[in-house]
Chains A and B, each alone.
Chain A
Amino acid sequence: MSEIAPIVLNVNGAARHTTALGGDTLLTVIRDQLLLTGAKRGCNQGVCGACTVLVDGRPVRACLSLAGDCQDRRIETIEGLGDRPVMRALQQAFVAAAAFQCGFCTPGMLVAAFALLADSRLPSEADVRRALSGNLCRCTGYKKIVEAVLRAAHALADEAVA
């Protein structure tokens, strides 16, 4: 058994010194120690996607990542992505398309969509549905989320052309 140990996490571009038990997940540490509560706990089992964050640029489940195992990784959360053009386009599109109701799924959804648009600039509707299929939403029926991601993709493409 380990004791509570100091760890250093690279979160949103800053080295954050904190402590964790060996079994503490990244989600627990960023929410409870770093007070970054944008990532939500909907299941703690990897299914709902509300805890999605980026590790080394790729979306993962914060609830299934051990904090201690992320020390040499680059961690980005919804709070740290807001000044990136892709995220800003997504946020604007989510608002314009009413792509959320309660908003509990929204941070995870936006992070997953961010990774998609960072990879493929003009995804098809089917691409969006596949890429986000691991993120659950119980409110919207998903249609307006798909519309928002496609809208953001087009806005970014138009910007790139202009």
Chain B
Amino acid sequence: MTQSVVGVVGLAAPQLEAAEKVDGSARFIADLNRPGMLYGAVLQSPHAHARILSYDVSRALAIAGVRAVVTGDDVQTNWRMGAFIKDEHALAKGKVRYVGEAVAAIAADSEAVAREAAAAINVVYEELPAALSPHAALKPDAAVIHEELANYIKVFDTGSAGNLCSRTSFREGDIEQGWRDSDLIFEAHYLTQAQAHVSLEPCGALAEIDANGRITLWSANQSVFRVQANVCESLGLPMSRLRCLTPRIGAGFGNKMEPHVQPLAVLLAMKARRPVKLVLSREQDFEMVRARHPFDIRVKTGVKRDGTLVAREVEVLLDGGAFADDSPGVLGYALLMSCGPYRIPHAHCHGRLAYTNKMRFGAFRGFGVPQITFATETQLDEIADALAIDPIELRLKNLKRQGDRWLGGQPIASCGLNECIERVRTASGWNGGRHRAGSAGSRRALGMACSAHISGLLSTGAIIRLLEDGSVLLNTGAVDIGQGSNTVLSQLCAEALRVPLDRVSIASPDTDGSPYNWGTTASRVTYMTGISVLGAAAEVERKIKEHAAEILECSAQDLELVPGGFVAVKGIPHRRVGFAAVSGRAHWAAGGPIIGSHSWVFDQKTVDPKRASVVGLPFPQIGAFVFNAIVVDVEIDETTGKSRVERAWSACDVGRAINPQMVEGQIEGAFVQGLGFALFEEMVWNGPQIANPTLMDYKIPTFIEAPSELYAIIVESNDPGGPFGAKSVGEIGINGVAAAIANAVNAAVGVRLRRLPLTSERVLEAMLASEQK
């Protein structure tokens, strides 16, 4: 493990933005204003599936204060965006594909006028039959949602056809042999629901165009670079014409990674030649952005009588909604994780993703793993019960270890899962028995689950500049969405250059000046961007030493950085020179300003073709595994069936905690978001219409539902490739929550629910049904 020299790595430093976040001056997208700014509003589709026959915008344009109207006629047919399949226009063109889809947009002097004008647009539709579930969509006679699918640009072998958006399969070992080798086979069917992200800040964007036609765009986002790519693809613009910036982000859990209203704001600004701000209402945010995929999952597991796992088959069907968005990635990734962190020699994991006439589903913290883990980790408990083995012992017996290969064949460089399990086992008093005394009229028990996640994929970079006075400016292009990456990356930079944290500032992401960063998503920023920060710092260090060698008249090899912004001769600390003198020399005398840069792409192959055969793999290079074990203590009210998580322990192997307080924050926040997913969060459709697109009707956990005893436990396995050993923590903490809670409910009241969420209604019904048996 690389020791911290200046004590900045491992320090619970407060967020760099702390002061503005507690005095109310932090500016989020809705807080920005520009001179001459107009307000945008969106007209949404009333139909799930319909052809657009004509628009009449004359009444809207006649309203005083209306400055621009845009419709599908303002974009060309071949201007399509999409991360995996380019299937989406900036707004509906030719057809609408879900209720709530943007059909037209208005820019006006005030929000009220813009909304009034949007309502005054008359659109003539010809309704088409709609496919509202993946099962319905994949029937041969289903209405085709994308007639042009065959011609769309795709970034991998999707296998698309009809309403099948993509399909993926992993095969390892010999599944038929696996069944033959098994003593017992368990098979069950699981359903998970659509969960809404509910980042407290609704999505929005502000676009401005100058007289030369260059466009600046601020938006609620998780990647200025993905915004740039999406807007330019959907509006036929060269990427260099568009500059994307970021205000503070009111959290993103995947919902702000791919586009929402950015293309519309730009289109309006281009047409009005004025700045336009378009911020969604909470209802529109529910109806138009994206949500967690509902999964239909079948899991079959073969096992020896002693608990050794032998074979696993997983089949999933995902509702992708009207556009592919990140869905093919979610499908592929969920399958990659569907054997969990266990040694299972024979596996066949496959799935399909269907287009439907619903809002698109996309990235959401966990990226499909909370869904698949609910199925696989509750099935493991069923196996443990049937074999009369303690659930923890069953898992320990089958755990993957450091050096083992993941499904597909990638080696595991570091693994602290064993320690995670032992820590939660001890802390929860598991060995003392899973049943606890509940309060009157209730039953109470412990449940557990394990899961894994990744830290690395795609590409990223960092630039570090040593300014004239020796202070340091870091520029990574990574958007801090509230999780604290600005602080953590600055900590890494400060540690590497051995300067106090306050000597480092971090530039706000700007597509004009920042190095490319794919995005703040997939738990990748600390690991991926952290490696780039250290790479850039190493280059700065080398250049500093070259200058210092000239100043101190020695060899660069004999020099070392010493804490506080100095470089000194090894062993002779007083023969030193400060960064200011070094940078001054570079700026004014020799060599030029000191700039270090680094960029890379995660290049470990997911699939080793000698071990596995894989079809339709959306991410060929993804890895650096992290691990989690959770124990929850759940009480169920016998009158109503309502579950309450009284206590929870969540241990994450994060490699190394660069900022332990922020790591805890991720574990705690992910746990409570997972608790909502487990117990009551569910988007409900009434036919084609979302029935609960408000916070009155869609509930997230409050202070009362969140357990007051919530223990985040940090396990450090020190990954050999990670920055100071760090891996990731952004998502791992949510993956196992629903499974652990379902396992506790089963232990407490003896009912096994295979459908999320575990509402009080479903639990009570199951309890009463099991009493009748």
Contacts and interface: CB of A to CB of B under 8 A. Distances in A.
Direct contact, A vs B (beta carbon within 8 Å) = yes
Interface of A: 21, 31, 35-45, 47-48, 50, 77-79, 82, 90-91, 94-96, 98, 100-107, 110, 125-126, 128-130, 132-146
A98 B200 contact: no
B710 A141 contact: yes
B31 interface: yes
Contacts of B484: 101
B199 A136 contact: no
Nearest to B694: A45
Given A38-B24, A98-B662, A139-B482, A144 B668 contact: yes
B537 to A, nearest CB: 25
Contacts of B202: 41-42
B25 interface: yes
Interface stretch (B544-552, B576-584, B697-705): B697-705
Given A103-B26, A145-B703, 18 more contacts: A36-B24, A39-B24, A42-B202, A42-B282, A48-B282, A82-B23, A95-B15, A98-B12, A98-B665, A101-B669, A102-B199, A107-B24, A110-B22, A129-B704, A139-B665, A139-B669, A142-B701, A146-B708
Q: Interface size for chain B: under 10, 10 to 19, 20 to 34, or 35 or more residues?
A: 35 or more
Interface string B1-37: 0000000000010110111111111111011010000
A125 B708 contact: yes
The 5 closest A-B pairs by CB, nearest first: A38-B24, A102-B482, A103-B21, A104-B250, A141-B668
Contacts of A35: 33
B30 A140 contact: no
A90 B481 CA distance: 23
B201 A142 contact: no
Contacts of B672: 141-142
Interface of B: 12, 14-15, 17-28, 30-31, 33, 112, 197-202, 248-251, 253, 281-282, 481-484, 661-662, 664-665, 668-673, 694-696, 700-704, 706, 708, 710
Contacts of A44: 281-282
Given A41-B30, A102-B249, A146-B703, A136 B665 contact: no
Given A44-B281, A136-B700, A136-B702, A79 B23 contact: yes
Contact of A104 (B12, B17, B28): B28
Contact of A138 (B199, B248, B282, B704): B199
B281 A102 contact: no
Contacts of A91: 22-23
Nearest to B673: A138
A143 B482 contact: no
Given A98-B15, A140-B669, A106 B21 contact: yes
Contacts of A47: 694-696
B27 A37 contact: yes
Contact of B706 (A95, A110, A143): A143
A37 B201 contact: no
Contacts of B665: 98, 101, 139-141, 144
A151 to B, nearest CB: 13
Nearest to A108: B200
A136 B199 CA distance: 10
A125 B200 CA distance: 24
Contacts of B662: 98
B706 A103 contact: no
A95 B14 CA distance: 6
13 contacts: A37-B30, A40-B250, A42-B201, A47-B696, A79-B24, A79-B25, A98-B15, A98-B664, A105-B200, A125-B708, A135-B703, A136-B200, A141-B670
A136 B30 contact: no
B248 A103 contact: yes
Contact of B704 (A31, A37, A90, A133): A133
Contacts of B201: 40, 42, 102, 104
Contact of B21 (A100, A125, A135, A140): A100
Contacts of A145: 703
A53 B282 CA distance: 20
Contacts of B704: 129-130, 133
A43 B14 contact: no
Contacts of B673: 138, 141
A8 to B, nearest CB: 22
A106 B22 contact: yes
A138 B21 CA distance: 16
